[in-house]
Amino acid sequence: MTKDSRPIRVVGISGSLRAGSYNTAALKAAIALAPEGMTIETAEIGDLPLYNDDVRAAGYPPAVRRLRDQLAGADAILFVTPEYNYSIPGVLKNAIDWASRPPSQPFDNKPVAIMGASGGIFGTAQAQYQLRQMLVFLNAFPLNKPEVMIGAAQTKFDEAGRLTDEQTKEFVRTLLDALSNWTIRLRQSVPDTARPG
């Protein structure tokens, strides 16, 4: 397979709005650890209104259009999700619900990677598995391995929100390398006419 040298533009979404969020900190770490040829920009989801199909039918609000355009223009997506009650946070589900409405829903045929951080030992496993189910329905292509579940996050980030744990940094690097390779592989196997946008 010929190496594709085109840059890879990733849109990263943190599923937490908390100022001191470990997941937002993990996304910032991913930005710094991105491999050569990959850039990661963040998507804001905190200003999205609650999903209401009457509002959608009247026209997408500006914040929703911005998110949909960002996702449509991305080569790949990186979700970084907390776990609330064995599932993804409502704010992340709301963003997915808005972005996934027709026409041209931007998850279709899109490579996706998932990671998450929590204070518990399981590191958002349940939330990640539920998110994978949603992505299958949306015809996205989630990366199967590696799985990055950052447990005991309070021991792996410093007070300024910097990722300090070297093993976790290596896990994140490995995930991003795999996402790069997955994106290139899908570029070569999915015709451009099959891509949204």
In tens, the pLDDT along 151-184 reads: 999 999 999 999 999 999 999 999 999 999 999 9
pLDDT above 70 covers a percentage of the chain that reads 95
| Torsion region of 85: left, alpha or beta (phi above 0 gives left; psi -120 to 50 gives alpha) | left
Residue 154: how many CA atoms within 13 Å on its side-chain side? 3
CATH of domain 8-188: 3.40.50.360
Residue linked to tokens 């021991």: 155
Give the mean pLDDT of 124-134: 97
Is the pTM higher than 0.85?
yes
The domain limits of the chain are 8-188
Residue 87 phi, psi (nearest 5): -150, 180
Decide which of 197 and 53 is more confident. 53
State pLDDT tens for residues 54-93: 999 999 999 999 999 999 999 999 999 999 999 999 999 9
With vertex at residue 147, the alpha carbon angle to CA 64 and CA 183, rounded to the nearest 5 degrees, is: 60
